[in-house]
Structure 1
Amino acid sequence: MDLVTGDGIWSLWWVWLAAAVGLGILEILAPGFILLGFAIGAAVVGVLLAVGGPLGAMLGGSFALMLAVFAVFSLIGWIGLRRTMGVRKGQVKTWDTDINED
């Protein structure tokens, strides 16, 4: 198994989809859409490998290309999640009471 040429466990589509599901589950423990962005990137790579065709073959043949596609779609997913569900512009958390007050 050689990671440089893509031969190995990372060239299997179901490994990427399993990683996407695992990262999606872990997002529950660490909110902020960071792991969910990585899950989106892993899901895209898994789907591209599963669909196959010339793009899937090219992607499956290069571990570096798989990582690049994963990174790009993870970033796009994270930015999309932050823009649609993140903190709104001008939104500020205000505290009315202190925990130490009676």
Structure 2
Amino acid sequence: MTSVPLSEEVENRIQATFSGEVARESARSMLLEYPTEPWHGEVKRVRIGILRICQGNLERMRRLVDIAQKDYRDLLMLAEYLPADSSKPLSLRNARRKTPDE
């Protein structure tokens, strides 16, 4: 599958989330890894969700991209249905869930 370019909104959020250019370039590179499968949907929405949850942490972003690649709906649930100001850590327990092709 060909890479889907980053939207202007996603690029603006990268700028707002990461302070250094090296970190921003790493974030761009990771976000461009989604989508990889024809059934991956909601590209812009998933990328924005990843940026919202990662809170500027590249290791967390890596895990979130992996979750999105397995089942992007899990990522959307984390990003959109948990309170943004929640003091509880996000659960990434679904990271090992199988994809529809497995």
TM range (shorter): 0.3 to 0.5
TM-score (normalizing by structure 1):
0.34
Give the TM-score of the pair, scaled to structure 2.
0.34
User: Could you say which structure has the higher helix fraction?
Assistant: 1
